[in-house]
Copies of this chain bind each other. A is one copy, B any other.
Amino acid sequence: MAESKKYQDSVGKLTKLLESNLKKVDQEIIYRLDKSIPLINDIGIHLINASGKRLRPLLTLAMAAQLNDYSQNPVILAAAVEFIHTATLLHDDVVDESNLRRGKKTANIIWGNEFSVLAGDFLFAQSFELMVETGSIQALSSLASASCKITQGEFQQMQIAKKPETTRKQYLDVIGKKTAELFGASCESGVIVANGSLVEQKAAYNYGFNLGLAFQIIDDLMDFNAQSKKTGKNLGDDFKLGKTTLPIILAWEKSNTSEKQFWNKTLKELKQDTNDFEKALTIFHKYNIFESCKLKAQEFISKSKISLDQLPDTEIKEHLIGLADESIQRSR
C-alpha cells in the first residue's frame, strides 16, 4: 500500500508540474469531439471523468518540457496520443465483447459493436487531424508507425493465443508492438516537436519503449496476482481466454509432463474446471514465476532509465526515473 502510494508519487509530481498543460489537453479533447453527435460527445464525458492517470499524454508533455517546450504543440500531440490510445481500447471492446457475449442481450452487443467501432474510428481519424495541426510530419510519422504496429501486435496476439509453448521472443515482439511502441512514440514525438536532436529523440523513444514493455509485463502478471485486484482488473481474465502471457510462457518452460498436460487442457483446449486457476497459481509459486516476471520487467526498466542519460538533467527527468522505478511496484 505504501509502495502503491509511492508509485503515484512520481506521476503525481509530474502531473503537478505539468498541470496547466494537462488541463489544456483535456480542453483540446473536449473541443475536438463532435457536439452535434450525442454518441461521440458521450465518449468525451467518459474520457474526462473516467480517465485514469493519462500516462501517455503525460509522457509526451514531460518529454517536451524536458527541452523547455511548454507550448501548444506538445498539448495537441498529447491529445492525439490519448485519442489513439482510447481508439484502441474501444476497438478492443469489440473483440472482448465478442468473447464475453454468451448469455448477454444481443441488442446491447450490436449497439456496443457499432458504437465502439465508429467511435474508435472517429478518435483515430481525429488524432491525425490534430497531428496535422502541429505541422510536424516527423511527429506524425512516429505516431502513424506506432498505430500500425498496435494492430499488427493485436493480430499476433490472436495468433499466439492458446499456445503456452510460445517463445519469450515472440511474446516480447507482441507486447512491443501492442503496447510499447505507443509509449515510445508518445515520448519521441514530444521531443520531435520540441526540436530535440536525433540523439534525444532516440533516447526518448527508448525510454518509452522499454517502459512500455515493463508496463505490459506487470499488467500481464497482475492478471494472476490477488493483491492487484484493487486496480480494477479482474483476476484470471487472461487465463479464461487462453491468452499467452509471460507467466504462462515461463511456467511452460519449467513444467514437467503432468504440468504440461494441465496447460494443454486448460489453455490449448480451454477446458477449465473451477479450481484450475488456483492450480495454475500453485505451479507459478512452485517455480517462482512471479519473481522471474518482475526480474524481466526490472531489466527493461533499467534500460529505460539508462536512455535518459542522453537528456538534460532536469526535475522532470528525476520524476521520469521515479515513474519507471515505481511502475514495477504496482504488482506488489
Contact = CB atoms under 8 A, between A and B. Distances in A.
A125 B148 contact: yes
Given A155-B37, A156-B37, A159-B37, A132 B141 contact: yes
A144 B122 contact: no
Interface residues of A, number: 44
A320 to B, nearest CB: 27
Nearest to A98: B110
Interface stretch (A113-121, A189-197, A273-281): A113-121
Chain A interface mostly helix, strand, loop or mixed? helix
Contacts of A109: 98
A215 B242 CA distance: 46
B98 A114 contact: yes
B128 A140 contact: yes
A293 interface: no
Total identical chains: 2
A18 interface: no
Of A39, A101, A110, A121, the most chain B CB neighbours within 10 A belong to A121
A99 interface: yes
Interface in A134-182: 135, 137, 140-141, 144-145, 147-148, 150-152, 154-156, 158-159
Given A110-B98, A113-B98, A156-B37, A91 B121 contact: yes
Contacts of A151: 118, 121-122, 125
Nearest to A159: B37
Given A117-B117, A118-B155, A159-B37, A148 B126 contact: yes
Given A40-B155, A125-B150, A129-B144, 8 more contacts: A37-B152, A91-B121, A94-B114, A95-B117, A98-B113, A120-B121, A129-B148, A132-B137
